[in-house]
Structure 1
C-alpha cells in the first residue's frame, strides 16, 4: 500500500487488500473464515444495509459488541457507508453508553445480543425508548440494499473514539481517514507485519489499539485477524496452537497470566514471534521471561493514547536493554518533546482533530502551537527514545520530594512472590503524602508487609519506600489493562 493521500481511505484500503491478498485468510472467528475477497463483499453488504436504513455520509454509527467477525464487518461497513464509527466500551454501564449515544448523535446503533451475562440493548431500552435505529448484529444477517455507496475522502471523519472516562466524563477523540490509517500503517511497519502473520487481537476493538493497530493494521499488511472476545489464558493458548498465531500484542497482565498458567507447558506456542506491550509499567523481569519462557523472538514496547493512538514504538532491531527501558522512538510523523514538569508533548499530522463538540477540552489538550499535552511524565534519551516514568496525576510528594510510583513498581517487580503491584499516595499529616503499595502475590507466596517494605528499603531512597502494603487477589483494571488507581486512592483516603 502506497502513501498516496488519494488512497488514504478505509474503502480504498479494503479494495487494495481484496485485490492484493484475494484468497488469503483475512478473518478467522470460530467457524467463520473469510478471505480478503469475501471480507470486502461482506463489508460492502453491511455498508449498503446501513445506507438502506438511512445512514448518510457524515452521520455517526455506534457499535457495542465484543471482539468478533461481526464487529469487524459492522465497523468497516459503517465507515464505507460514509459514516463515522463510534465504538462503545462494552464495560460501560447502560447510563454511560446512553451518554455516548446522545453526545455522538448516533444515527444508528449496532449492538450484540447478550455478552458477559448482560443484554445491553434491554438495559438501554429500560432507561429510555428514545434510541437511534437499532440493528442487533447477532444472529440477524445484513441485508444489503440496492444503493450506491459514497466516494470517501482522506480528510473525512472516520471515527470518534471515546476515552475510558476513568477520571472524568469520557471525551470523543475525532480522527480523519488519513489519520486512522496513518497510525495503523506506522504500527504495521514498525512491527514488520506481513501477509504471513496471524494476529490474535485480544485488545478490545472498541479501543484505538484493537481497532487501529489491530483491524486496520491487518488490512494494510494482509495479515489475518483472529479476534478473541475476552482474554482467557487457557483459551488464548488454544487459539495460538490451533491457528498458529504469530503476533500477540496486549497489556503486561496478559503475558503474566500466560506465564503463570499451569497448562502452559503442554501448549504449543512455538509459532509466536512478536509481542507488543504497553498501557502500564512493563517490568524488566517480565520482558526477560516473555523472551525466554514464551518464546517471543521480538518483544517491543510502544506508547500511545486515544488522542494520538501510537506515538512512539521500539523497532525489532532494538536491543533488549532498549526495549526494557524505553517505549521507543517517535513514529507516524510525530514530533516529541518534554514540557513543564517533564510532561510528554506530541505534535504531528495524526494528533486528533479534536474532541467532538467540546472546544474547551480540545483547547486544554492541544495548545495553540499544535502540541498535545498528554499528562504523562517522561524522559528522552540522546537517541530520541522516550521512557514514560509516570502520570502527572499519579505523582505524589513525600517530604518535599516527588515520587513517581512507576519507579517503585519496577523495584517491586523484582521481589519474588510479587505478581503485580500498584503504588499510590496517601495523605499524611507529617510528610504530606506517603506511598501505599497494593500488591497481588503469586500462588503460594507468603509475603508480609514487613518483607515488602524491607525489600524496598534496600533498593530505594527512603522517601520512595511505601509506608504501608495492602494485599489483593487482583487489582482493579479497565478493559485495556490499565490499573484504576483512583479506586485504590479512594480506599486509602
Structure 2
C-alpha cells in the first residue's frame, strides 16, 4: 500500500464484484480520481461516510483517504439517536450528497481531531460511551502490510467478503489488504448468498468472518466438504475461535488454511494471527504478533501492544486515551493472556466488563441506560450468556416500581429497538426484586446468574 494510493493495480482485472455489478481495477482508479478532483473545495473538518455495502461507499472511502480528507465511518443500521451521539463527539464534521455538495454540517468546532487523522472508526469504551478511534495512514498502512504477510495474500486468488464495512475487521483487515494485493473481492449481503455460491461451485479463495458466522456457515453446509474444495483461506477474528470450531472448520475446508486472529480497532486492527499449519493451532492458543508489533504482559497478565499500528487516540477523550495508551506507547488491551517462550500468545479473557456479541465488543453500560429508560423500570443490568451460534447472547435483569405490571418480552424488545442496534437488544428478560450490589452500590455481575429463576423470566 503506497503513500499515494490505497491500491496500485489499474488493469481490467475485477476489483469489486457486487451481485451482477463488476468494477475493474482500472474503472475503480478512474472513479476514485474523478471523486478526488471534486474534493478540491471540500469543507474543513471530518467527512462522515455511511458504510453501505456498495461501490459508492468504497469509491468515496478510497477517494477521501487518498486525498487526505479525514473521514468518520458510520454503520448504516445505527438508529437516529446512535448517529446523533456519534456526530456530537466529532467536532467539526459534515456529510456530502451524491453530487459532493454539503447536505449536513455540525456547526461545532470542538473537539478538534488529531492533525494526522485519516479514518475514525467507533468502538465502545468501558464507560459505555462510544469511542471515536483516530487512525493515521501510518497505522492503516502498517496494518495492511502485516495482514498481507500473516494471511499470505500473495497466494489468494480472490476474496469473498460479507463482513460489515463499518467494522475494522471487514474494512481495514480484509478489504484494503485485498485491494492492495490486487485480489478481486466479491461483497455479499449475507451467508445465504455465500452458501449459494458454494452450491454452484463458484466460491474460491479466501472467506472471512467472526466465529458465529462460521458456525452458521457450517450448519448451512452440512456434510458436503466437496463444495469447499476451491476455498484456500478461512479467516476468523472478532472473538475467540474455540478448539471444537477450529477442528470442524479444518474438516469442512480440507483444502484451506484456517486462521484465527485477534485485534482491536485501536490497533488498526490486527494484532495476533495463527494458521492451521502451526502445531499449536489445535489448542487454545491465539497467535503470534503480526508485522512489527511487539507485545508484553503486565505483572497482572494484561496484554500490551506497541508499534506502528497503535492509534492516535480517542477523539475528544484525552483521559480515556491516556488510560489506554500509557508509558512508552504501550497500548493496554484489557485482555488477560499467557505468553510462551517462543512468543505465542493465548488469551484468557477480559479484565473488565465488556461483552462480545457476534465478534463486536460491547459495553453493558450503554444497554443498561436504555433499559432504565423503559416505563416502570427503576434499575437494570445486562450480562452475557454463552451461545453456540452467536458466541454470546444478552440477558437483561429488570427491577420495576412496586406494583408495576410485567411487560411482555416482545414489547420490551420493540421498545429497545428504537434506541439500540438489533445486536444490542437482549434476547431474554428477567424481573428481579433487587439487583445484587455491594454496600457502595457497585453491581456484582458475577452474582447475576443467581437471578436466572424460571418464574422470573418474562415471556
1:25 matched to 2:25? The reply is: no
Alignment: residue pair count: 368
The aligned runs of 1:120-131 (5 Å cut-off) are 131=104
CA 224–279 in structure 1, closer or farther in 2 if over 3 Å, else same = same
What is the Cα deviation at residue 169 of structure 1? Answer: 0.6
Structure 1 residues 441 and 253: alpha-carbon distance in aligned structure 2, compared to 1, 3 A threshold: closer
Separation in 2 of the partners of 1:239 and 1:257? 15
Q: Distance in 2 between matches of 1:207 and 1:480?
A: 16
Q: In the alignment, which residue of structure 1 is the partner of 2:72?
A: 86
Deviation at 1:371, TM superposition (A): 0.9
Indicate whether 1:103 and 2:103 are aligned.
no
Instruction: Indicate the RMSD between aligned Cα atoms, in angstroms.
Output: 3.6
Cα pair 2:232 2:255 within 8 Å, conserved: yes
Alignment CA distance shift 1:65-1:212 (3 Å): closer
Going from structure 1 to structure 2, the CA distance change for 1:389 and 1:439 (only over 3 Å counts) comes to closer
CA distance in 2, matches of 1:481, 1:323: 30
- Distance apart, 1:65 and its partner CA: 3.2
Unaligned runs of 5+ in 1: 2-6, 113-128, 134-154, 396-404, 407-423, 425-435, 443-477
2:209 is aligned with 1:220: no
Distance change (3 Å), C-alpha of 1:324 and 1:72: farther
Describe how 1:160-171 pairs up with structure 2 within 5 A: 160-164=120-124, 168-171=128-131
Corresponding position of 2:111: none
Report the Cα distance in structure 2 between the residues aligned to 1:273 and 1:487, rounded to whole angstroms. 42
CA deviation string 1:238-291 (max 9, x = no partner): 245465331111111111111112677498332211112132232211111111
Q: Which residue of 2 aligns with 1:40?
A: 29
More strand by share: 2
1:301 pairs with one of 260, 268, 275: 260
- The answer to whether the 8 A contact 1:327-1:385 is kept is yes
> 1:77-226 alignment to 2 at 5 Å?
77-105=63-91, 107-109=93-95, 131-132=104-105, 156-164=116-124, 168-194=128-154, 196-226=156-186
Pick from 375, 385, 409 the counterpart of residue 334 of structure 2.
Answer: 375
Partner of residue 331 from structure 1, selected from 274, 284, 290 = 290
Is the Cα–Cα contact under 8 Å of residues 69 and 227 in structure 1 kept in the other structure? no
Alpha carbons of structure 1 residues 75 and 13: separation in structure 2 relative to 1, 3 Å:
closer
| CA distance in 1 between partners of 2:76 and 2:132 (Å) | 16
> Are residues 67 and 187 of structure 1, via their aligned partners in 2, closer, same or farther at CA, if it must alter by over 3 Å?
same
How far off is 1:304 after superposition? 0.6
Take 2:307 and 2:429, find their aligned partners in 1: how far apart are those partners? 34
C-alpha distance in 1, partners of 2:273/2:429?
Answer: 30
Alignment of 1:252-331 (within 5 A): 252-261=211-220, 265=224, 268-308=227-267, 309-315=269-275, 317-319=277-279, 321-322=280-281, 324-331=283-290
- Give a deviation string over 1:19-53, Cα, whole Å, max 9, x none: xxx2211111112211111111111222233445x
Instruction: Specify the alignment match of 2:195 in structure 1.
Output: 237
1:76 aligns with 2:56: no
Q: State the 1:73 CA deviation.
A: 0.9
Residues 1:316 and 1:50: Cα distance change in structure 2 (over 3 Å): farther
Unpaired runs of 5+ residues, structure 2, are 107-114, 357-363, 365-382, 390-419, 431-444, 452-459
Q: Distance in 1 between matches of 2:248 and 2:423?
A: 19
The 2-side partners of 1:384 and 1:485 are apart by 39
Higher RCO, 1 or 2 (CA under 8 Å, sep at least 6)? 2
1:53-94 Cα offsets, whole Å, 9 max, x none, are: x245xx311111332222211211221232112111234321
